[in-house]
Amino acid sequence: MFKVGGGPGEPAFICDMMLGKLCRWLRMAGFDVLFPKELDDDGLVELCRSTDRYLLTRDKDLSGRKMVRSIRLCSEDVDGQLKEMTLKFPDIQGRSRASRCPLCNVTLSFVEREALKDIPDAMVPEKVLEFHRTFFHCQKCAKTYWKGTHWARIETMLRSHGLVIDDPGEIRTEK
Residues found near Zn ion in the complex (CB under 5 A): 101, 103-104, 138, 140-141, 143
**Helix H segments across 20-148?**
20-28, 41-51, 60-63, 78-88, 113-116, 126-131
Angstrom distance (rounded) from CA 122 to CA 132 = 14
Q: Are 52 and 3 in contact (CB under 8 A)?
A: yes
> How many residues are present in the chain?
175
Residue (137 or 161) nearer to Zn ion, CB: 137
Note whether 37 and 15 are within 8 A (CB). no
Is the Cβ of residue 37 or residue 175 nearer to Zn ion in the bound state? 37
Closest separation between CB of residue 114 and Zn ion, Å?
22
Shortest distance, CB of residue 169 to Zn ion, whole angstroms? 22
Residue type, 149: T
Q: How far is the CB of 75 from Zn ion (least distance, A)?
A: 27
Shortest spacing between CB 88 and Zn ion, in angstroms: 27
Q: Are 70 and 56 in contact (CB under 8 A)?
A: yes
Q: Which is nearer to Zn ion, 44 or 138 (CB)?
A: 138
Q: Which is nearer to Zn ion, 143 or 147 (CB)?
A: 143
